[in-house]
Amino acid sequence: MKTKTGRYSGYIRPFSRVLDLVIINFFTAHFSGIPVFKDFYAFFISCSWIIIATNLGFYEVYRYTKVIAILNCTLKQALAFLVCCFALAYFYPDRYNLYSILEFISLSIVLILCFKLFIYFFLKKYRIIFGGNFRRVVLIGKNKSILPLKHFFEENPDYGYKLIKIFDLDHHKTEHLQESLSFILENKIDEIYCSMNDLSSKQVADFIIFADNNLKTLKFIPDQKQLLSLNTVFEYYDYIPIISQRTISLDETLHKVIKRIFDFVFSLLIILGILSWLIPVLAIIIRMDSKGPLFFTQKRNGLNNKEFNCFKFRSMEINELADIEQVSKNDSRITKVGKFIRKTSIDELPQFFNVLIGNMSVVGPRPHMVSHTNMYAERIDKFMVRHFIKPGITGLAQTKGFRGEVETDKDIINRVRYDIFYIEKWSLLLDIIIISKTISNVLKGDEKAY
């Protein structure tokens, strides 16, 4: 169930829309010289903005919305609006040029974003300082299931959730469930959070009916296994409801094109700017340090589980276990030069050739050697989901500390969890943040880089 509109959202959103339209039309008239109130130009440009915003959910900002989501949506809004303005400019060839379009859109978007972020952070401060704009909530479930959310509500008052009561289902489950229903009505509770794993199917259905009949917002807390399979989407074939297991952002053609252009340009810059002079230098140093080729090529699994040749600078002595045994800390196979290039991640740079060719991306789930893919596919639930998109040189899991050697099943489970999140929530902005975080980790020194 979607969250109810907050106490002030009914005023803030209309105000934001009007303010944005004023900004857009003002900068259009100021920089382009177009008489915005003639020939219905103001009407067309305003309608374009509102239609794009409605489709992208530009004004759908909630108390739990993250800043990265706001920035990502603003970027999409700006690009789509830019295309519309180019189309409208066709009718004003004498007064509307490329420079004026870029100038007025850039300034408009920056100012709109500033106001949007100001309101977002102002409400966070307002909740803490004045104690207003709160949602009254209750938690229902066993202590182990609801403890993380309990801590979140208590430690993050700026989100605007006031935890009124916890109904612990570890003991006297039936009595506590009955008590919770009357308590919710008597104390004007806004939102109900139930641990999905601690309720039977009938109890879940009863809560849904109760929430609908009493206009309460109902949300469920999944466990880790449910979490990986809850990104479901309802689709309709005529009038028949169909549940799709997950949405993959990069299945959309536009997203594929954007990511491919970014990958191509970024990899080309790295190859021309760094690898063009680094390869001859490392060719001398690596061969002086140990016998063997400059590059190490290994079969790995990529998009749709297809095998491809993954390129690296050779960092180990030639050995028969290279395609079977993963490198571990203080591995005797690693050469002196190899220790340095692995620690600094220089050994991964040839994979930008893979990106240029098209069998890898700059950001995505890290590819595993074929023998390990087969092993983890049998042992780890949902491991193969990672192969719905191209593998990457770096990824979200790597920036969260799950890179390098897999020491326990927990390492690979967490890696899969972050990879699935990335697959479902991809955006160009998220790629840029992951790349920035990766560069930062390399400069600081990653303890799992060996």
> Does position 324 have pLDDT exceeding 60, yes or no?
yes
| pLDDT computed for residue 215 by the predictor | 79
Q: What is the mean pLDDT of residues 312-328?
A: 77
Ranges of each domain in the chain: 9-129, 135-221, 251-444
pLDDT (tens digit, 9 = 90+) per residue, 147-171?
A: 888 888 888 887 888 889 999 888 8
| pLDDT computed for residue 132 by the predictor | 66
Q: What is the mean pLDDT of residues 79-92?
A: 79
Q: What is the mean pLDDT of residues 402-426?
A: 83
| pLDDT computed for residue 353 by the predictor | 95
Q: What percent of the chain has pLDDT over 90?
A: 21
> Does position 225 have pLDDT exceeding 80, yes or no?
no
pLDDT (tens digit, 9 = 90+) per residue, 92-117?
A: 665 566 777 788 888 889 999 999 99
Structure tokens of 166? Answer: 């916890």
| pLDDT computed for residue 3 by the predictor | 43
> Does position 234 have pLDDT exceeding 60, yes or no?
no
| pLDDT computed for residue 391 by the predictor | 94
Write a three-state SS string for the chain.
CCCCCCCCHHHHHHHHHHHHHHHHHHHHHHHHCCCCCCCCHHHHHHHHHHHHHHHHCCCCCCCCCCHHHHHHHHHHHHHHHHHHHHHHHCCCCCCCCHHHHHHHHHHHHHHHHHHHHHHHHHHHHHHHHHCCCCEEEEEEECHHHHHHHHHHHHHCHHHCEEEEEEEECCCCHHHHHHHHHHHHHHCCCCEEEEEHHHCCHHHHHHHHHHHHHCCCEEEEECCHHHHCCCCCEEEEECCEEEEECCCCHHHCHHHHHHHHHHHHHHHHHHHHHHHHHHHHHHHHHHHHHCCCCCEEEEEEECHHHCEEEEEEECCECCCCCCCCCCCCCCCCCECHHHHHHHHCCHHHCCHHHHHHHCCCEEECCCCCEHHHHHHHHHHCCCHHHHHHCCCEEECHHHHCCCCCCCCCHHHHHHHHHHHHHHHHHCCHHHHHHHHHHHHHHHHHCCCCCC
Q: What is the mean pLDDT of residues 110-133?
A: 82
Among 2-6, 334-338, 373-377, the minimum mean pLDDT is found in 2-6
| pLDDT computed for residue 450 by the predictor | 47
Among 15-24, 52-61, 63-72, 86-95, the minimum mean pLDDT is found in 86-95
> Does position 241 have pLDDT exceeding 60, yes or no?
no
| pLDDT computed for residue 228 by the predictor | 46
Confidence of residue 37 (pLDDT cuts 50, 70, 90): low
| pLDDT computed for residue 4 by the predictor | 44
- Top-confidence residue, 250 or 359: 359
Q: What is the mean pLDDT of residues 203-207?
A: 88
pLDDT mean across residues, the chain: 82
Q: What is the mean pLDDT of residues 341-350?
A: 89
* CATH code of the domain made up of 135-221: 3.40.50.2300
> Does position 73 have pLDDT exceeding 80, yes or no?
yes
Among 7-21, 31-45, 194-208, 310-324, the minimum mean pLDDT is found in 31-45
Confidence of residue 364 (pLDDT cuts 50, 70, 90): very high
| pLDDT computed for residue 278 by the predictor | 93
Q: What percent of the chain has pLDDT over 70?
A: 84
Does the pTM surpass 0.75? The reply is no
| pLDDT computed for residue 252 by the predictor | 80
pLDDT (tens digit, 9 = 90+) per residue, 260-301?
A: 999 999 999 999 999 999 999 999 998 888 888 898 898 999
